[in-house]
Amino acid sequence: MADYAFNLSLSRTLSAHEYGDYKVAYAYATICGVLALLGGDRVAPKFLAKPLANKATSEVGGFVIFFCKISAGISLLLFSLAYLSGYLHLGSWSPDEHHALLWISAAIPLIAVGAILSRVLQSAKLLVYANLPWRIVLPAGKTLAVIVLASLLNQVYLWQVIIAGIVILALITTWQLFILYRKSLLTLSPAIPVRNQSQLLATSIPMMLAMLVTVAISQLDLYMLELLALEHEVGHYAGAVTTSHMIPVAKVSVIALVVPLLGQALEKGEEYAERVLWQGQKVMLIIILTLTVGLLFSGAHLLQLFGKDFFSAHDALKYLILGSCFWAVTAFVSTWLQYTGRGKYVVIIGLLTLVTDAVLNWLLIPIHGITGAAIATCTALSVASLLTWSTFILCRKRSYSSATVQSTQSGHR
């Protein structure tokens, strides 16, 4: 709700075109934030379960430093490329002339560091400290910043909103680092370097690719609309995306509760971990289906809160809600495949889905506009969900067949 309130305040402060630019820039920063960590945040619950249980704070510190160095290097490269391309395109460094994504590039390293620190807190089962700052404090702080800027200035520019967001990001990241020290969960000096770095990256990078593809699928339609649709339509579609995003937020919240338990359960064996998986899946189904029905009934009213002209995205919203629902109920299955060494299947499914989404967007947007983009996304996510569940079922059958063969062989000895 805090994120929804921020988007409402921003859409009412900016024009539909400028709001669309912000959402495109935010999508870019989200994708780059995932890329910069190379999956360090994804693999953290699995890798840190034992060090945190043994209170090996130097090992935790080594893990954090290892991925922070990686994220710093990749963030610097992305930042340089973004601003160089902007300068070559515009021939100017004036902040008012640059697209919002060029300014939001400065937030990428903070997003990456915040993600890794949050995962450490999540792995230590300090869920309030891990999730509350990003789910409530960040959007509430940005909402307050927009209100203050609007009251003080005759015109609010996007780069001013982004700079305010970066300041809030820095404060939250610093606070989480302080909490980790205060709870004696992290020691940066001295820190024990990560052993088998190549093996760790071999596990984390496929998880990063799977997450990157998932994020790209959710944001691709905005980029395609930027290329193929009218400028104001991007803003209207962004309102529908923000409304349907309540489902992914609920999904992430449930996963945050269960993933630390899943990482610990896997150390006891896949059969034990499956119990945790299905318990989490039941909770996910109840929450996601309830939220989906509620949004389908109230979506029109929620869209009009952004402005009367946003109602044009109502049909698109319906398809986005359904697509988000189909993908959300697949989240635990996808996580299971990644944690059990089958992440390559998730990456392949994701790439197929991304291509499907891009092709459908290219075909449908010129004909149906923002509704076409939503149909493309809904279709792609539904296909992804079907393929992921099919892969999970096939992998389980193979595992049970192998276990049966081994037990039969043991019985004949």
Please report, in tens digits, the pLDDT of each residue of the chain (413 residues total).
677 788 778 877 877 777 777 877 888 888 888 889 888 888 888 788 788 888 888 888 888 899 999 999 998 888 888 777 766 665 444 444 456 777 788 889 999 999 999 988 988 888 788 888 888 898 899 999 989 988 888 888 888 888 899 999 999 999 999 999 898 888 887 778 888 888 888 888 877 887 777 777 777 887 788 778 776 777 788 888 888 888 988 888 888 777 767 666 666 666 667 777 788 888 889 999 999 999 999 888 888 787 777 788 889 999 999 999 999 998 888 878 877 777 788 888 888 988 999 999 999 999 888 899 999 999 999 999 999 999 988 887 776 555 544 545 555 55
CA angle 149, 150, 154 (to 5 degrees): 105
For tokens 């059969």, name the residue. Answer: 271
What is the amino acid identity at position 131?
A: N
Q: How is residue 312 annotated by DSSP?
A: G
- The whole-angstrom separation of Cα 398 and Cα 206 is 22
Beta carbons of 29 and 324 less than 8 angstroms apart: no
* CA proximity to 262, closest of 350, 338, 345: 338
What angle is formed at CA 372 by the lines to CA 323 and CA 290, rounded to 5 degrees?
A: 25
Q: State how far the alpha carbon of 326 is from the alpha carbons of 257, 292, 379, 385, 387, in Å.
A: 20, 10, 10, 6, 12
Which burial class, exposed, middle or buried, applies to 393 when counting CB atoms under 10 A from its CB (0-12, 13-18, 19+)?
exposed
Q: How far apart are the first and last CA of the chain?
A: 61
The pTM score is 0.68
DSSP 8-state secondary structure symbol assigned to residue 194: P
**Which amino acid, residue 307?**
G
